[in-house]
Amino acid sequence: MVRQKVLLIKVGELKDLFRKLFVVILFLTAFLFIMLSRFDSVAIEALNKVVIKVTGPVMQVVELPARVIHHVWTYFYDISHIYAENQLLRDENKQMMILQNKVRTLEVENQLLSRLLNYVPPAEASFMSAQVVAESGDKFTHLLLIYVGNEAVKKGQIVMGDESVIGRIDTVSPPYAKVILITDINSKIPVVVERTRVRGILSGNNKDLPQLIFMRSTTDVQEGDIVVTSGVGGMFPAGLPIGFIGSINGNRVEVEPMADLSRVEYVRIVDYGLAPDAELSVDFVESEQNAR
């Protein structure tokens, strides 16, 4: 590094010397032109052309060593940086290989465990988009009316906003369908707190924040915890995001939906091949209540 700095300083000093010399030559040439301007202008113009033709190549030759040294220095400097970056990429490649081997190991273990547990993966989901044409957010209902056209929409299918569950299909009357939002008093969704795996029922109350009911314990629940569908009851698959824990007041736990339900313009109707009737989730709620 010290040698490189010294070489860089010397190259800079050499370039400064050439520039100063060039300035002196230009100054003397200009002074000569001024002195000769009192004489014949034709001769001055001819002399000016001669000077330009002579000084141009001379200056190129004078600056050539500095340019060569500069290019050589830049070339080796770039090579040193390329070598350092190459070493860094090699180290990162080694780390990626280690992670890849770990992932492969986990995949094999997952396959073995799935075989032992007779695990059946969930079906692939299909979805369609629909536009909201009307909404109701009064004290009695929290509903959306969406335009579905002639698509095969069924009662019980999941309705999502941009990122999270906002409700389910309640009634289909082509070309429209009615959506019960998660804030509606008739909405009951089995959920789980993602961090602690505490289960409960997300119940609408015709207010902005639905509640978690039938929770066995609220001691491990914190504000900001993510709430997702649990998959219990057969209506919703597991792991779909719904909202965050908004507030905790004793046994009263309110959930803030991820989606802004007051500004929904388009929705996605997701079909996981389940689409059960609403009574299935009601039966599950009753069983949970009896268990408590």
Give the pLDDT confidence score for residue 212 in this predicted structure: 92
Task: Count the Cβ atoms, other than its own, within 10 Å of residue 166.
Answer: 26
Give the pLDDT confidence score for residue 159 in this predicted structure: 93
What SS3 state is found at 263? helix
DSSP state of 182: T
Q: Which residues of 35-48 are buried (b: 16+ CB within 10 A; e: fewer)?
A: eeeeeeeeebeeee
**β-sheet bridge partners, residue 179:** 144, 169
HSE value, Cβ hemisphere, 13 Å, CA-based, for 160 = 22
Query: pLDDT 10s per residue in the chain (292 long)?
Result: 444 444 445 556 666 676 777 767 767 776 666 665 555 555 656 665 665 666 556 666 666 676 777 777 777 777 877 877 877 887 787 678 667 756 766 776 677 666 666 655 556 678 888 999 988 777 777 889 999 988 888 888 999 988 889 999 988 888 999 999 999 999 999 999 988 888 999 999 999 999 998 888 777 888 999 999 988 877 788 888 999 999 988 888 999 999 988 888 899 998 877 645 444 444 454 455 555 5
Torsion 193-197-198-204 (CA) sign = positive
pTM (predicted TM-score): 0.55
